[in-house]
Amino acid sequence: MKVRQPLYIWAGIIIAILAIGTLGFMVIEKWSFIDALYMTIITITTVGYQEIRPLSDAGKIFNIFFIILSFSTFTYALASVTRYIVSGEMALHFKNKKIMSTLDTLNHHVIICGFGRNGQQAALTLIDQQTPFVVIEPEEKHIQEFMLTYPQLIFLKGDATDDMILKKAGIERAVSLITTLPEDADNVFIVLSARSLNNHLQIISRASHNSAVAKLKKAGANHVIMPDKIGGKHMATIVSKPDVVAFIDYLTGHEDESMNIEAVDYSHLPDAIKDTTLQHIMEWKQTGVNCIGIKQKNGRFLINPPENTIISEGMKLIILGSKQQIQKMKSNLMQ
């Protein structure tokens, strides 16, 4: 997001040169504005046209100094403006302004720190779930490659260990932060900073070594993921339980026909079905979703709960359904 020279600086230099030349000829030679401007332009561009009128000695002295002082500056400024436009920096400058404007309006979004393989996979999942997010990544090549497919990506080029970058990403208004940097020390630093800036933030951190897990949780991470450990376990499970793994992959896939698992908090239920049985809730405006579990007040999960279970404050329903079914259910809850 770095711009070599803002367009307005070079444009201002060009305008200043034109103004100095025009005013000089108007004051010294008593020329009209048009004649003075015309003389200024043919002088600094060295096109070689004849002067409008013979210059006085004072006018000649002014023109000598004006040529010496303005020619190289004007040429360099004009070249900079041209390069700025042709190289795409101007488009990038306005795109960055649009990104910053969008960031100011984001609420309840996710911040992804690091945009390697893990960060990009997290982004794909959030896109699939239509969850707004912001990416913080120092290497622009990772961002540009992703934007070839997803040009709507909102990103900040910078170091996520910098508190100012986290603030620009709207960390005070975010609901979650995912840090996927390869160095555990960097992830610990980000978790510490993020937790101090937003005490209610849900933080998910990557860890490369077992020794970092406890440190990350102590720093404030809600969940710590070890990609290598999960990958190895997944591959071993494929050997022993291939059908189970295939089913789980189907649940978490990106295909339109794939199933999805969602959590519905008690507070999101309409008053008409709060503190009622699970059966009553699932029959309310039937959408075809199924409840496969309940997270109880104490944090324990009740798998395949009985229909007569009373859903009370502090509980969450874990439901299973297609994208269309879950979207319909969410629409019903918002009414």
Structure tokens at 286: 């039937």
Neighbours of 248 (CB within 10 A): 13
pLDDT at residue 114 tops 90: yes
Same domain, 82 and 111: no
Same domain, 209 and 139: yes
Same domain, 158 and 227: yes
Same domain, 57 and 112: no
CATH number at residue 180: 3.40.50.720
Same domain, 212 and 321: no
> What is the overall mean pLDDT for the chain?
83
End-to-end CA distance of the chain: 41
Domain, as residue range, for 50: 7-86
pLDDT at residue 224 tops 90: yes
Same domain, 192 and 127: yes
Same domain, 82 and 163: no
In a domain, 215, yes or no: yes
In a domain, 281, yes or no: yes
Same domain, 80 and 147: no
pLDDT at residue 217 tops 60: yes
For CA atoms 274, 310, 306, 222, the dihedral sign is positive
Q: What is the pLDDT of residues 66-103, one digit of tens each?
A: 888 777 777 677 776 666 665 555 555 556 666 666 77
Same domain, 61 and 160: no
pLDDT band at residue 254 under the 50/70/90 scheme: low
pLDDT at residue 314 tops 70: yes
Same domain, 218 and 110: yes
The share of the chain scoring above pLDDT 70, in percent, equals 85
In a domain, 117, yes or no: yes
Q: Which amino acid is it at 38?
A: Y
